Amino acid sequence: MTIKVGEKVPEISFKHLGSEGMEDISTSDIFTGKKVVLFAVPGAFTPTCSAKHVPGFLEHAVEIQGKGVDQIVCLSVNDPFVMDAWAKDRGTENKILMLGDGNGDFTKAIDLSLDGSGFGLGARSQRYAMIVEDGTVTTLEIEDGPGLSVSSAENILSKL
């Protein structure tokens, strides 16, 4: 069952390529005691994700943080090395935490998986954005098809 507003995010640990190499980051590390905007994309370096979704959150990062948001997270079912390369390519340092859900554990746990095998992508995440306060989802915007509208930075900014 898809996660809903009012529910807690599941306890999952992610692998992340940090300054000291591979490290674990848990959902508790990310969400406990914080207000977080998390947006998820079907894949790193894919057209809409690279040309519109991430750039929108980069453009509005200061405004979003000005609304009391402690962290902006971009999640994709990609490995930490790909997410690190994408972060460098997009210039997200200190603005967006680019987080890989390599095995799709978080994506499956919140029931927002997408079967991209018809496009040669395999298991992926649906495109969505959520606002999470101290581990509880307060806003959830899931795209109902291709394109970018409800999960855009501009729409999420209007919900803060």
Any idea which residues carry the catalytic annotation? 49
Contact 44, 27 (CB under 8 A): no
| Count of residues making up the chain | 160
Q: How many Å separate Cα 144 from the centre of its chain? A: 17
| Rounded Cα distance, 99 and 97, in Å | 6
Burial letters for 91-107: b for 16+ Cβ neighbours within 10 Å, e otherwise? Answer: ebeebbbbbbbbebebb
Task: Give me 15's structure tokens.
Answer: 């692998």
